[in-house]
Amino acid sequence: MLKMKRLFIVFSFIGLISFSGVLQAQNQLKVGYINSQELIQAMPESDSAQAKIQRHAKQLQDQMEQMQVEFNNKYENYISQADEMSDLIKQTKETELQEMNQRIQQFQSTAQDDLQNTRQKLFKPILDKANKAIADVGKENKFTYVFDVSSGALIYQSEDAINLLPLVKKKLGLE
């Protein structure tokens, strides 16, 4: 029985030491947060990338409108002359209109993908620069974790949490 009591005391002591180690580790956690979207909008590169995307979108929209006007003109022409056409010519014109409509739809789909790829290509260096600055500030200030509140995944934010946006802006020279 005395052996059991000693074993219990030894295990209790080990448990207490382990628990105090966990508490000590928890006290060393340093958590910060940042709104990365706000940071990216503050970066001058973001404005020029957005302007390029808008120009590209305008070019695609102009091309789409030109294709649509051409289709509408051919359709109007077909409708106005349909009574005078032979069945073979009608069928040929209808096939041409269907193919043209399919090309317009294909262009629209491809244009959306192209615009998305352009956006990703132009913003990748900006995102990389922002992420590097956030990581550098996190390392320099010994943060354990940094959460991005722009994603909406943050459930709770303590009053002790530290907003890294001013530090990262300073690191990037955006003040």
CA distance 149 to 159: 15
Res 154: pLDDT:
62
Res 153: pLDDT:
62
Res 110: pLDDT:
97
Q: How far is CA 67 from the centre of its chain?
A: 31
Res 165: pLDDT:
87
CA distance 128 to 52: 19
CA distance 54 to 145: 36
CA distances from 132 to 126, 137, 174 (A): 10, 9, 15
What SS3 string covers the chain?
A: CHHHHHHHHHHHHHHHHHHHHHHHHHHCCCEEEECHHHHHHHCHHHHHHHHHHHHHHHHHHHHHHHHHHHHHHHHHHHHHHHHHCCHHHHHHHHHHHHHHHHHHHHHHHHHHHHHHHHHHHHHHHHHHHHHHHHHHHHHHCCCCEEEEHHHCCCCCCCCCCEECHHHHHHHHCCC
CATH 3.30.910.20 at 2-172, yes or no:
yes
Res 145: pLDDT:
84
**pLDDT, tens digit, for every residue of 53-91?**
999 999 999 999 999 999 999 999 999 998 999 999 999
Pairing mode, if any, of strands 145-148 and 162-163? unpaired
Query: Taking a C-beta distance cutoff of 8 angstroms, is the pair 39, 167 a contact?
Result: no
Query: Taking a C-beta distance cutoff of 8 angstroms, is the pair 154, 24 a contact?
Result: no
Q: What is the pTM of this model?
A: 0.69
What are the residue boundaries of the structural domains of the chain, listed by start?
Answer: 2-172
Low-confidence ranges of the chain (pLDDT < 50): 2-3, 5-13, 16-17, 19-20, 22-23
Res 26: pLDDT:
53
